[in-house]
Amino acid sequence: MVFLINKLLQVLIFLNMHSLYTGNFYMTHETMAAIFQNPLPPYPGWERRIYRLSRPVTDNDIRALLGSEDLYKRDTAAGMVNIIHKYGLIELHCIIGESCIEIWFNPDKGSYPSEYLDALLSTRFN
């Protein structure tokens, strides 16, 4: 079963699909990457994904996703990027008013970061 899923993903990427459906969110490769320029991983080896959401990010979403974590801000040409680091698993980069977010994750943690991310985003963007 896993082999078939991997083959399907390879075919979709080969056909140059611009988004893959994962859970309730679309992962985009090129279409919205221009919003988050100069990608810099928080740690060496972390991988980057851009997720398209069902609606634009609001200040209330930032506060809800933040929880007890610290909020970091970086001023860019696209706007103020709100950076939320969650437990060494994922880092979310959100711009208020944009309907996509940049995600950095640790690929060495297996599927746990993607499951955690899906659950986290489902609390706000269903």
Q: Give 3-26 pLDDT, tens digit per residue.
A: 656 555 554 444 433 334 444 444
Supply the pLDDT for residue 88: 84
pTM of the model: 0.71
Query: In whole angstroms, what is the distance from residue 116 CA to residue 95 CA?
Result: 21
The domains located in the chain, with CATH, are 18-122 (3.30.310)
Q: How confident is the model at residue 58 (pLDDT cuts 50, 70, 90)?
A: very high
Closest CA to 124 of 80, 59, 75, 46: 59
Q: Give 90-104 pLDDT, tens digit per residue.
A: 999 999 999 989 999
DSSP SS3 for 70: coil
Q: Give 71-80 pLDDT, tens digit per residue.
A: 999 888 778 8
Q: What percent of the chain has pLDDT over 90?
A: 27
Supply the pLDDT for residue 18: 36
User: Tokens 């706000």 appear where?
Assistant: 124
User: Tokens 């611009």 appear where?
Assistant: 18
Query: In whole angstroms, what is the distance from residue 101 CA to residue 52 CA?
Result: 7
Q: Which two tokens stand for residue 108?
A: 């060495």
Query: In whole angstroms, what is the distance from residue 121 CA to residue 113 CA?
Result: 12
Supply the pLDDT for residue 4: 59
